[in-house]
Amino acid sequence: MAGLIIDNVQKSFGQTHILKGIDLEIPDGEFVILVGPSGCGKSTLLNCIAGLEEVTSGRILMGDTDMTHAAPKDRDIAMVFQSYALYPNMNVRKNIAFGLEIRKMPKAEIDEIVNNVAKLLQIENLLDRKPSQLSGGQRQRVAMGRSLARQPEVFLFDEPLSNLDAKLRVEMRTEIKKLHQRLGTTIVYVTHDQIEAMTLADRIAVMKAGHVQQFGTPQQVYDDPANMFVAGFMGSPSMNFLRVEVGQNGDDYHVLIASEGHTYQLPCPKAQGDLSGYVGKDVILGIRPEQLTHVMPHVEEGEFVTKVPVKIEVTEPTGADTLVLTRINDEECECRVHPAEAGQPGEMMDILFNMDKAVFFDIETEDRI
Amino acid sequence: MTKSNRSKGIDYWLPKLVLSPTIAITTVFIYGFIFLTAALSVTDEPLMTIFSLTNPNIDFTFDFVGLDHYVKLFENDRWNGALLNLGIFGVLFIGICMIVGLIFAILLDQNIRAEGALRTIYLYPMALSFIVTGTVWKWILNPTVGIEKFMQDIGFTSFTFDWIVDPQMAIYTVVIAGIWQSSGFVMAIFLAGLRGIDTSIIKAAQLDGASLFSVYTRIIIPSMRPVFFSAFVMLAHIAIKSFDLIMALTGGGPGNATDVPAIFMYQFSFTRSQYDMGATSAMIMLMGVAAILIPYLYSELRGEKQ
């Protein structure tokens, strides 16, 4: 097994720059997820790691070996594709064995590996079927089996779950995580689904327009986003962004919000950013819906919690919680409340603004303050 | 109410009205004549008697002779020569067309520049009729005006290429012309097949360590079996029916060296007036085409149902 170092990798197709200098250092055995919107370059980066695309500049190292210009087959990498990419003319057994046969492994050894992999993924009864006779989830397992059989140094997953239905996707997600815990192999996994990223990753690299915006653990990325893009991309429902004015009371800072004609001061914890340079100016307040709740006595006593009456515009029950859409500073703002506490559209409701985890962004640069 | 009824009536009758002449013509002139040909091949009745509607004493009693004509046909040396020629032509024409077409298709599939232009160039012979192809190749292969003369004129005085007048080799000139005409078409079929293959399959095989050659030989070509089957069927029936190309290129000659069943049938029916032999050979050709097309149609239609 080996770690992976991506050193200032750039990739251009003619005048189109897809990757504009990517630096990632992935220790041995880590599960890293590349996440970002369509066209951010995450799949291109994965293809570069696999050697399917030649990088324009920069280096790719596996362990201590420079693999920048190595052929895909010499990199000891296995990849699972979104479309599964099973060989349609071969049955499942041959699909799994193909890579081993190419490497001229003895027949008996191949049989043993295929049987072990099939047992691990519970596809023993499918070994003699053709890919066209399998369901989406079964194909997914076979595709994973094929990459497992070669026992590669690094696994690459290219949106492996996006062709599955919602229920199966959650099941396979858990299975991939179990598999990683069992094998401990380095995994680089591309997805555009931020829930997948949060649940699976040891670390997440959030990408946008050919740059890595932030590379950190799921909790870091969620609680401590580097900029407005990361904050808005991670989390569902997404973070509320409100344009607010910063005020000062002695040593303490607060931001001002308006709801239904009244103005409220929300005190800001110092740990969440130094607002001293912004007094009297506007900043973007980023606050997640779960920090805006119905009135709960034990929360209400918190130092940075303020009760604000708001007018309910729309309610969206999700079962566990109800999302209440309201208007703060003339911008839409979503709150997450207990279903029993949610009022009807048009009614007023008291919402607790908990600023413990609020984040602030510069209006110009959109970076964290 | 009346109006809507009437328009419904037109909607109902118009398609039937428009299609009925075609159906009538097809029934009489294709299926009717297939039946007459079949009848002619197992009876001993001169064709003109059957058709002379002006003759008041039409004799509708056929002398049924069973398979006599078929036995006679297969005892005919010229027919057996024609069958042998068809065998040589068919195997080489189909085989080489598929190989050439597949190679061109694979080369064109490598994301090369000007692919559209090249595709058109390879497909263009298909736009010509076999008569034109035959005539052009007759000039090219003619020793006194074509390649042989050209090579001798530029100094290779001992160069000979006279297959077209050599009874042993003439059938191979037909193969050359046929391949020139049809391999571009086969290439287009294969190219469409290749384009239908998910590119990530190729990537996956590369990561599995397969070379580009084994990606094609072990994965892509085996998974294009239906495409091969379609190409084979189309080429096979072109081969069995081949008539115009050979008429234009060699006229069946020299001697009978490039005789094929279609030419045999034409000459026995229309220049020798041996209608029984003509009809019998036509039936054999029909059976040959049917033997290829019926399994094909069967598998296609069954595929649609699934």
Preferred mutation among B113, B198, B200, B207 to probe A, highest tally of A CBs within 10 A: B207
Q: Tell me the helices (H) and strands (E) count for chain A, helix number first.
A: 9, 21
The number of domains in chain B is: 1
Q: What is the pLDDT of residues B40-87, one digit of tens each?
A: 888 776 555 555 555 555 555 567 777 888 888 888 888 898 999 999
φ and ψ at residue A24, rounded to 5 degrees? -140, 140
Domain boundaries, chain A: 4-233, 240-361
For the domain bounded by A240-361, which CATH number is listed?
A: 2.40.50.140
Residue of A nearest to B208 (CA): A99
CATH code of the domain in which B141 resides: 1.10.3720.10
**B2 has pLDDT over 70:** no
The pLDDT-based confidence of B5 (bands split at 50, 70, 90) is: low
pLDDT score at A175: 86
**Interface confidence: ipTM more than 0.85:** no
- Interchain contact, B203 vs A88, CB within 8 Å: no
Query: Which of A32-41, B122-131, B293-302 is predicted least confidently?
Result: B293-302
Range of the domain at B155: 76-305
Q: How many residues does chain A have?
A: 369
- Does any CB of chain A come closer than 8 Å to the CB of residue B223? yes
**Any domain includes B67:** no
Asked if A4-233 and A240-361 have one fold, the answer is no
- Interchain contact, B207 vs A72, CB within 8 Å: yes
Burial A196-224 (b: 16+ CB within 10 A, else e): bbbebbbbbbbbbebebbbbbebeebbbb
**B1 has pLDDT over 70:** no
Domain at A4-233, CATH class: alpha beta
**Any domain includes B53:** no
- Does any CB of chain A come closer than 8 Å to the CB of residue B200? yes
- Interchain contact, A81 vs B204, CB within 8 Å: yes
Residues near A354 by beta carbon (within 8 Å), at least 6 away in sequence: A291, A292, A293, A299, A302, A304, A305
Segment B107-120 mean pLDDT? 83
**Any domain includes B44:** no
pLDDT score at A116: 87
What are the tokens at A328? 């703060």
pLDDT score at B306: 45
